[in-house]
A = this chain, B = another copy of it.
Amino acid sequence: MIGVVSGLLPGGLATPATVVFADRLEANLAGMAAFAAEERLALRPHAKTHKCPQIAGRQLALGARGLSAATVGEAEVLVSRTRAALAGPEVEDVFIAYPLWPAADLVTRLGKLAERATVTVGTDSAAAARLLAPLAGRVAVMVEVDCGLGRSGVPPAEAAGVALAARRAGVQVRGVFTFPGHSYRPGAAAQAAADEAAALAEAAAGLAAAGFGTVERSGGSTPSARLSVPGGLSELRPGVYALNDAQQVELGTCSMSEVALMVAATVVSRPAPGRIVLDAGSKVLGPDRPAWATGYGRLADWPGARITGLWEHHAVVAVEGDSPALGETVAVVPNHVCTAVNLVPELLVADRGQVVDRWPVAARAANR
């Protein structure tokens, strides 16, 4: 039996192959763009998910105000290649949503980048803000606050102190930002969205009291994006929504039919009853597995199957009853699409069962 999704894969693929379904991608991009427009939120999609100028260009064409990036390198690639890739909009506005430590080489690179686009960087310390002084007038900052994830970002009450350090360094402060990443647990997204709004409100009030006026309040994660508290944010930065993944399916953020990236894999072994082995392992799916996930990804056409073990080139799948045959191609949904994309040099773009394009993962491994 060939499953419905596996049937959408182009025939004769050499596996493992990382495939993007063009129609699903477009629907995801358009859906979030429409949501942001309705809610009057500026949309600044996080490009770390796809690292791909073709997708970035489409996000801009659908109305995104600019892009988010995780590193200076990602921003450089997206600014230089997006127009070339799509003959579409230039990336004119990029926010490196990360508490950069502005060492000398990064200051130099940011200065060059700022000649071609509006550049904002994240900061969460007075010490980092001071190091941005050579970029005064060329690069702006957003102050990162922690809304409950316990990663980077100062407590909201301390945001004004960091903003004042940036001002003393001559650097414009655009606002405050946070990542409500504690939305990544079943049932946690609404509370994370409430925490996000509260933290941004407190931080923005602190900046207002310190004389910064009304500032940008930027937040968003894919699980929490559509639960954002009305009026709580001015800017939304989801990334995963463009492609989706098994985590989002299991969190209830999207349905399996909204997953736009899958890995075509072959059943290479059926060594024992109830167990099959696929040629898609951690070097193509990514080893991510949160404790609450049912496995290391999902088989799109086999809802009862569970990827119980993952090695570099083996996925061990527990199956019951009817299951894929030896040599059969199946569509695997990675747990975390951002790390899966980063593992391959290009994405195969599929439309109506044909490979219609190949998009380089242009910002792959752009870790600085």
Q: Which residues of A contact B (CB under 8 A)?
A: 14-16, 48, 70-71, 98-101, 103, 105, 124-125, 127-128, 146, 150-155, 181, 266-272, 275, 277, 279, 282-284, 286-288, 309, 311-314, 316, 326-327, 336, 338-339, 342-345, 365, 367-368
The CA of A23 and the CA of B266, in the complex, are separated in Å by 41
Residues of chain B contacted by A16 (CB below 8 angstroms): 367-368
Q: Is the CB of B268 within 8 A of A152?
A: yes
Q: Is the CB of A270 within 8 A of B125?
A: yes
Supplied contacts A152-B271, A343-B365, 10 more A-B pairs, CB within 8 Å? A15-B368, A16-B368, A99-B277, A101-B266, A101-B279, A101-B327, A124-B269, A127-B327, A151-B277, A313-B367
The CA of A327 and the CA of B103, in the complex, are separated in Å by 8
Q: Is the CB of A367 within 8 A of B316?
A: no
The CA of A105 and the CA of B101, in the complex, are separated in Å by 47
Residues of chain B contacted by A283 (CB below 8 angstroms): 339, 342, 365, 367
The CA of A101 and the CA of B327, in the complex, are separated in Å by 7
Q: Is the CB of B326 within 8 A of A344?
A: no
Could you tell me the dominant secondary structure of chain A's interface residues? loop
Residues of chain B contacted by A127 (CB below 8 angstroms): 326-327
- 15 pairs, CB–CB < 8 Å, chain A vs chain B: A48-B312, A70-B312, A99-B269, A99-B277, A101-B279, A101-B326, A146-B272, A151-B271, A153-B271, A279-B367, A287-B287, A287-B336, A287-B339, A312-B339, A345-B365
| Complex: chain B residue closest to A109, CB-CB | B14
Asked whether A338 and B365 contact (CB < 8 A) given A155-B272, A266-B103, the answer is: no
Closest approach, in angstroms, between the C-beta of A8 and any C-beta of chain B? Answer: 20
Asked whether A100 and B268 contact (CB < 8 A) given A14-B105, A313-B367, A342-B343, the answer is: yes
The CA of A127 and the CA of B100, in the complex, are separated in Å by 54
Residues of chain B contacted by A15 (CB below 8 angstroms): 368
Q: Is the CB of A313 within 8 A of B365?
A: no
Asked whether A154 and B271 contact (CB < 8 A) given A282-B288, A368-B15, the answer is: yes
The CA of A100 and the CA of B326, in the complex, are separated in Å by 11
Most B-side CB within 10 Å, residue of A266, A311, A316, A345: A311
Closest approach, in angstroms, between the C-beta of A316 and any C-beta of chain B? Answer: 6
Closest approach, in angstroms, between the C-beta of A256 and any C-beta of chain B? Answer: 23
The CA of A310 and the CA of B276, in the complex, are separated in Å by 30
Closest approach, in angstroms, between the C-beta of A305 and any C-beta of chain B? Answer: 16
The CA of A103 and the CA of B14, in the complex, are separated in Å by 9
The CA of A275 and the CA of B326, in the complex, are separated in Å by 49
Q: Is the CB of B367 within 8 A of A284?
A: yes
Closest approach, in angstroms, between the C-beta of A205 and any C-beta of chain B? Answer: 20
| Complex: chain B residue closest to A126, CB-CB | B326
Q: Is the CB of A125 within 8 A of B269?
A: yes
